[in-house]
Amino acid sequence: MDFDYGTTNNYYSSYRGVGAAKGISELLINELVNNGTYTVVDRSKLEQALKQQNRSGTMDAGTGAEIGKQLGVDAVLIGTITKFNVDKQSGGGSFMGIGGGSSKTKAIVQIDARLIGTASGDILATAKAVGEADQSDSSISIRGIGGNSSSSNEDSLLSAAVDKAVSQMVTKLAEVSKKLG
């Protein structure tokens, strides 16, 4: 099911909106299918089941289990994006006309997921994944003449952080499947 967004950081809502949660869900579905550990129900079947019950929005464990039963699956994966941040730090100084500066941009994405058994509605397993990506820029100036290597690529940093978090989540969910038998 589509992930929920559960952080108070307004960077996410102003920069990405609800689309990022759905996008991360889609990436995770693709990676789970490619991994082969789980069989994943097509999204159109899920959307049809939700429409039949007039449901939309976030899913709790009980609702997830109910929809999962209707779809005939053993378990439902629900999750929350608990971090979706871009942090920037910078510093620098000068002495006698010679100066320098540096900045660092870091993207952090954290996903928390729960695997809900449809028979019981119980949480069978939980997993947390964190992806990080960063970039450093620097500049130098000598008596007013300077240069720098700065670029703002928050999109690509966030994408890299998401990819790392999704990959980590797939690995953890594959490990969980061995325990579930």
The CATH number of the domain holding residue 93 is: 3.40.50
Query: 150 pLDDT band (50/70/90 cuts)?
Result: very low
Q: How many domains does the chain have?
A: 1
- Which pair of structure tokens corresponds to residue 147? 């240069």
Residue 12 has pLDDT above 60, yes or no: no
| pLDDT tens column, 39-66 | 888 878 888 887 887 776 667 778 888 8
Torsion of CA 133, 33, 1, 159, to 10 degrees: 20
3 state SS for 2-25: CCEECCCCHHHHHHCCCHHHHHHH
| Structural domain of 124 | 4-180
